[in-house]
């Protein structure tokens, strides 16, 4: 069968916030740009984002600024963040939100007409620009509208709306193509298939931006939907790029726990930001028992103070329900394990006794609808039952902070598929702003790279033949059902490399993954190429297994607990480990996954000076502290 071929300057894989913003930038810089997405255009995780986009605009509290946001982000990530990314993010997020508004986004307003900002865990001031609890929908709508506006411009200028930017939806990329197999060889395109008819498609392009989102589908209980199979992470690895921070997975504290069919679906943090409290089966507001030492000074120690904070933030400390997500998720996990959970294995989240019904339906319309429709619970009258759910991966492609460039020439990454920005734990709201800031930067980085090329890298025909053979293999085998292998992988990761980990269990998980990798080689999906979901899953399995292996190997290696990585056998945070990143690499066939330690560059002087010594002391080594003392002397 013929392979459909297209030539572009930049191919963006993924049409969520990061992909769309990257594509808009590349097109604005005059590059012929393709947007490829495996789901329908508009159906990405970004559309599901509820709470908002964090940006220090200072609209609700004028004390907010990029430096406070930077500090909060570094604290949330327990100082493991790529500080240059955290700096760029904090500085540029307000401009990206205003830009969205200029492109037509309709954010909620303050009484004096500014973009409204709400409270979220770990953010010192109200900082999340939002549209009720449907912010992601508005973001995607606006970015799509911008793509259409650019296409209309192109129609006028070139007589063809798709002359400079075209969307290929329901089209899955399975391999990145390169000029050859040697280290240093450049990206030259991407290979994939149309989901509807199974026909193959090849993009010949000197620059590829990965914006494929996360990996949640490797876990049973997750807020993520079917397309989060770690494709971009795996594509990058197989092309020779590196992944960092893969041990850090965010288990959002509040997913639905009941009924079983909807277990894992997200309950937005806005419920707590807007006053919702967590209680155990004994009615105790247990988060007061779980304030860790590093956050002791910043959180209320009594219910009265926590409650006062909602109306007077200048004179009170915030309630511990708004601690960073990793802290809240571990606390819920501990309460349930101690036998103080709700009947369905979660805890209670109650907003009904905290806000009038009309206010709940105004501020949290989607949550009200979600619980009524899916669980027959009216959140204006009764509490929700919630528990941790696999939500977000902090780990991803190691990129240059300024340009989004990966180590393979021509490869760029932005959004959830990239690593570094959030360190060991992402603050809520920092993803939507990350997509905009680094999506734009990756689009610009890819464009600059193309401008600097002397010759267009050629697609190697051997790699096309190999990609094609790999993709057709499951169709030719009457092997094991891929769903069986997938379910076993999900159970393994949930139970053995979940919210609390220990060496013995991670080792068991790695043995299981090794066996599943063998079984995956034999899965079959007979039934032809026309919309065959079994075939699609068989191809996604390679990615999920590869990514799971990285997660487990890095989790085994990091012998400390930090952010989204909690080791039962190494409960403390170690200043020595804070300096180190774990870097995953793989052979081109994915059979060999390596994890190596790498020391992070020290934080720039003007940035480290933004912190107090007393705070830094909790995180950094004696030697780093001495350097700091010398600096501020
Ligand atoms: P996505 O938006 O997921 O887009 C990924 C794209 O890649 C999709 O178009 C997909 O089809 C495509 N793709 C994947 N693999 C392939 C392939 N092989 N070939 C072709 N295309 C492919 N963050 C916040 O900051 N604030 C919030 O309020 C918030 N709420 C959230 C609520 C929910 C329920 C969830 C799940 C997440 C939430 N997050 C929030 C996190 C945030 O939404 C995501 O991290 C973010 O949207 C990821 O954006 P992205 O552009 O990286 O990827």
| DSSP H or E run through 61 | none
Express each pLDDT in 322-381 by its tens digit: 998 888 999 999 999 899 999 988 999 999 999 999 999 999 998 999 999 999 999 999
**pLDDT value at 411 more than 90:** yes
Full strand arrangement of the beta sheet holding 128-129: 53-54, 128-129, 117-118
Residue nearest to atom 30 of ligand 1 (CA): 49
Q: What is the pLDDT of residue 113?
A: 95
Q: Which are the catalytic amino acids?
A: 252, 272
Question: Is ipTM beyond 0.95?
Answer: yes
Which one of 227, 237, 433 would you pick to mutate in the ligand 1 pocket, going by the greatest count of ligand atoms within 8 A of its CB? Answer: 227
State how far the alpha carbon of 33 is from the alpha carbons of 22, 25, 39, 100, 164, in Å. Answer: 10, 10, 18, 20, 6
- Ligand 1: nearest atom to the Cα of 53: 25
Q: What is the DSSP string of 588-621?
A: TTSS-EEEEEEEPPPPPHHHHTTS-HHHHTTTS-
Least trusted range by pLDDT, from 202-216, 298-312, 392-406: 298-312
Based on the number of CB atoms within 10 Å of its own CB, is 473 exposed (0-12), middle (13-18) or buried (19 or more)? Answer: middle
Rounded to 5 degrees, φ, ψ at 587 are -75, 165
pLDDT tens for each residue of 510-532: 999 999 999 999 999 988 999 99
pTM over 0.90, yes/no: yes
Residue 30 confidence (pLDDT)? 97
CA of 268 to the centre of ligand 1 (A): 15
Substitution candidate for ligand 1 out of 46, 52, 374, 397 with most atoms within 8 A of CB: 46
Q: Residue with structure tokens 């090794």?
A: 514
304-308: average pLDDT = 94
Omega before 259 within 30 of 0, i.e. cis: yes
Q: Which residues fall within 8 angstroms of residue 153, CB to CB, at 6 or more apart?
A: none
- Asked whether residue 314 carries a pLDDT value surpassing 90, the answer given is no
Specify the residue with its C-alpha closest to ligand 1, atom 12: 14
524 CA to centre of ligand 1 in angstroms: 29
Distance CA 229, CA 252 (A): 18
Q: What is the rounded distance in angstroms from the CA atom of residue 142 to the CA atom of residue 439?
A: 15
**Dist. CA 214 → ligand 1 center (Å):** 7
Which helix or strand (DSSP H or E) is residue 37 part of? Answer: strand 33-37
Q: Determine the pLDDT at residue 610.
A: 97
- Tally of CA atoms within 13 A in the half-sphere of 339 that contains its CB: 0
How sure is the predictor about 240, in pLDDT bands with cuts at 50, 70 and 90? very high
pLDDT band at 195 (very low <50, low <70, confident <90, very high): very high
pLDDT in tens, 144-180: 999 999 999 999 999 999 999 999 999 999 999 999 8
| Contact status, residue 107 vs residue 138, Cβ threshold 8 Å | yes
Does residue 550 have a pLDDT over 70?
Answer: yes
Neighbour count for residue 476 (Cβ, 10 Å): 11
Q: How far is the CA of 175 from the centre of ligand 1 (A)?
A: 20
For residue 486, what are the CA distances in angstroms to 135, 270, 495?
32, 32, 14
Q: Which atom of ligand 1 lies at the shortest distance from residue 543's CA?
A: 18
- CB of 172 closer than 8 Å to CB of 367: no
Which atom from ligand 1 is nearest to the alpha carbon of 54?
Answer: 25
Count the neighbouring beta carbons within 10 Å of the beta carbon of residue 295: 18
**Percent of the residues in the chain that have a pLDDT greater than 70, as a whole number:** 100
Ligand 1, from 44, 175, 271: best to mutate by most atoms within 8 Å of Cβ?
44
Q: Which residue's CA lies nearest to atom 32 of ligand 1?
A: 49
Reported as a single tens digit per residue, the pLDDT across 39-81 is: 999 889 999 998 899 999 999 999 999 999 999 999 999 999 9
Please state the atom number of ligand 1 nearest to the C-alpha of residue 391: 36
Taking residue 484's Cβ as centre, other Cβ atoms within 10 Å add up to 12
User: In whole angstroms, what is the distance from residue 285 CA to residue 278 CA?
Assistant: 6
Provide mean pLDDT across the span 97-125: 94
Q: Are 166 and 34 in contact (CB under 8 A)?
A: yes
Q: Locate the ligand 1 atom nearest the alpha carbon of residue 392 and give its number.
A: 45
Distances (CA, A) of 397 to 408, 445, 544, 606: 11, 15, 15, 27
The dihedral region occupied by 530, where left means phi > 0, alpha psi between -120 and 50, and beta the remainder, is beta
Q: Residue 458: phi, psi to the nearest 5?
A: -90, 145
Pocket of ligand 1 (CB under 6 A): 13-19, 36-39, 44-46, 48-53, 135-136, 172-173, 211-213, 223-224, 227, 231, 266, 392, 415-417, 428-432, 435
Cα 215 to averaged position of ligand 1 atoms, centre (Å)? 10
Cα gap 519→452, rounded to integer Å: 44
Owner of token pair 């899955």: 172
CB 141 within 8 Å of CB 46: no
Element (DSSP H or E) covering residue 387: strand 384-393
Protein residue closest via CA to atom 14 of ligand 1: 212
pLDDT value of residue 183: 85
Give the Å distance between the CA of 623 and the centre of ligand 1.
Answer: 39
CB 380 within 8 A of CB 219: no
Query: What is the position in ligand 1's atom list of the atom closest to the CA of 41?
Result: 9
In the three-class reduction of DSSP (H, G, I as helix; E, B as strand; rest coil), residue 50 is classed as: coil
The strand pairing partners of 175, in sequence order, are 191
How many Cβ atoms from other residues are within 10 Å of residue 606's Cβ? 10
* Average pLDDT score over residue span 84-109: 97
Determine which residue's CA is closest to atom 23 belonging to ligand 1: 431
Query: Residue 59 has what pLDDT?
Result: 96
**Among the atoms of ligand 1, which is closest to the Cα of residue 15?**
9
Ligand 1 centroid to residue 227 C-alpha, Å: 9
Cα–Cα distance for residue pair 361/222, rounded to 1 Å: 25
Mean pLDDT in the chain?
Answer: 95
Full strand arrangement of the beta sheet holding 10-13: 165-169, 33-37, 10-13, 207-210, 411-413
In this structure, the number of other CB atoms found within 10 A of the CB of residue 156 comes to: 8
pLDDT number for residue 28? 97
Whether 255 has a pLDDT exceeding 70, the answer reads yes
- What's the confidence (pLDDT) of residue 1? 67
Of 14, 239, 470, 547, the one to substitute when testing ligand 1's pocket (max ligand atoms within 8 A of C-beta) is: 14
**Centre of ligand 1 from the C-alpha of residue 45, in Å:** 3
How many angstroms does the Cα of residue 527 sit away from the middle of ligand 1? 30
Indicate the angle between helix axes 503-521 and 533-557, nearest 10 degrees: 150
Q: Does the pLDDT at position 557 exceed 80? A: yes
Give kind and range of the element (H or E) at residue 74: helix 66-76
């Amino acid at each position: 069968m013929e392979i459909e071929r297209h030539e572009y300057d930049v191919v963006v894989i993924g049409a969520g916030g990061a992909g769309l913003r990257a594509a808009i930038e590349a097109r604005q810089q005059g590059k012929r740009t393709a947007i490829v997405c495996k789901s329908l255009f508009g159906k990405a995780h970004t559309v599901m984002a509820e709470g908002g986009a964090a940006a220090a605009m200072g609209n609700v509290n004028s004390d907010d600024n990029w430096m406070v946001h930077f500090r909060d982000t570094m604290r949330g990530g327990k100082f493991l963040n790529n500080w240059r990314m955290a700096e760029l993010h904090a500085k540029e997020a307000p401009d990206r939100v205003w830009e969205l508004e200029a492109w037509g986004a309709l954010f909620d307003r303050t009484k004096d007409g500014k973009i409204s900002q709400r409270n979220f865990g770990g953010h010192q001031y109200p900082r999340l620009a939002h549209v009720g609890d449907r912010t992601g929908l508005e973001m995607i709508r606006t970015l799509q509208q911008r793509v259409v506006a650019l296409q209309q411009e192109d129609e006028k200028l070139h007589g063809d709306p798709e002359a400079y930017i075209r969307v290929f939806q329901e089209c899955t990329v399975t391999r990145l193509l390169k000029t050859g197999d040697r280290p240093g060889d450049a990206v030259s395109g991407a290979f994939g298939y149309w989901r509807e008819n199974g026909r193959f498609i090849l993009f010949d392009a000197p620059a590829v931006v990965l914006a494929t989102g996360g990996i949640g589908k490797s876990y049973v209980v997750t807020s993520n939907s079917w397309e989060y199979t770690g494709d971009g992470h795996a594509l990058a690895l197989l092309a020779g790029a590196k992944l960092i921070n893969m041990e850090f997975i965010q288990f959002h504290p509040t997913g639905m726990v009941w009924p079983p069919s909807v277990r894992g679906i997200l309950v937005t943090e806005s419920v707590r930001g807007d006053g919702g409290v967590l209680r155990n089966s004994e009615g105790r507001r247990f988060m007061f028992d779980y304030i860790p030492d590093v956050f002791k000074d910043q959180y209320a120690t009594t219910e009265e103070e926590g409650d006062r904070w909602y109306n007077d933030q200048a004179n009170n400390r915030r309630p511990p329900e708004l601690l960073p997500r990793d802290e809240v998720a571990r606390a819920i996990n501990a309460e349930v394990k101690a036998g103080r959970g709700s009947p369905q294995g979660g805890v209670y989240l109650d907003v009904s006794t905290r806000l009038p019904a009309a206010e709940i339906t105004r501020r949290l319309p989607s949550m009200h609808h979600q619980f009524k429709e899916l669980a027959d619970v009216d959140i204006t009258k009764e509490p929700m039952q919630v528990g941790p759910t696999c939500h977000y991966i902090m780990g991803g492609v190691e990129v240059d902070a300024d340009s989004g460039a990966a180590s393979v020439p021509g490869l760029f990454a932005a959004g959830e598929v990239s690593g570094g920005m959030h360190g060991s734990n992402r603050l809520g709201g920092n993803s939507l702003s990350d997509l905009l800031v680094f999506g734009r930067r990756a689009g610009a980085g890819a464009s600059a790279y193309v401008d600097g090329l002397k010759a267009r890298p050629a697609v190697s025909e051997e790699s096309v033949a190999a990609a094609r053979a790999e993709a057709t293999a499951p169709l030719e085998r009457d092997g094991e059902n891929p769903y069986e292998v997938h379910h076993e992988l999900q159970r393994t990761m949930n139970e053995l490399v979940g919210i609390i980990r220990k060496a013995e269990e991670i080792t068991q998980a790695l043995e299981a993954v090794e066996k599943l990798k063998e079984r995956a080689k034999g899965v079959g999906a007979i039934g032809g190429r026309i919309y065959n979901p079994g075939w699609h899953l068989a191809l996604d399995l390679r990615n999920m297994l590869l990514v799971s292996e990285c997660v487990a190997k890095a989790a085994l290696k990091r012998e400390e607990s930090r952010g989204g990585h909690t080791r039962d056998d190494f409960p403390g945070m170690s200043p020595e480990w804070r300096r180190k990143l774990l870097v995953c690499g793989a052979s081109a066939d994915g059979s060999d996954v390596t994890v190596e330690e790498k020391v992070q560059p020290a934080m720039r002087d003007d940035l480290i000076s933004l912190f107090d010594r007393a705070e830094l002391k909790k995180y950094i080594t004696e030697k780093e502290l001495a350097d700091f003392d010398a600096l501020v002397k």
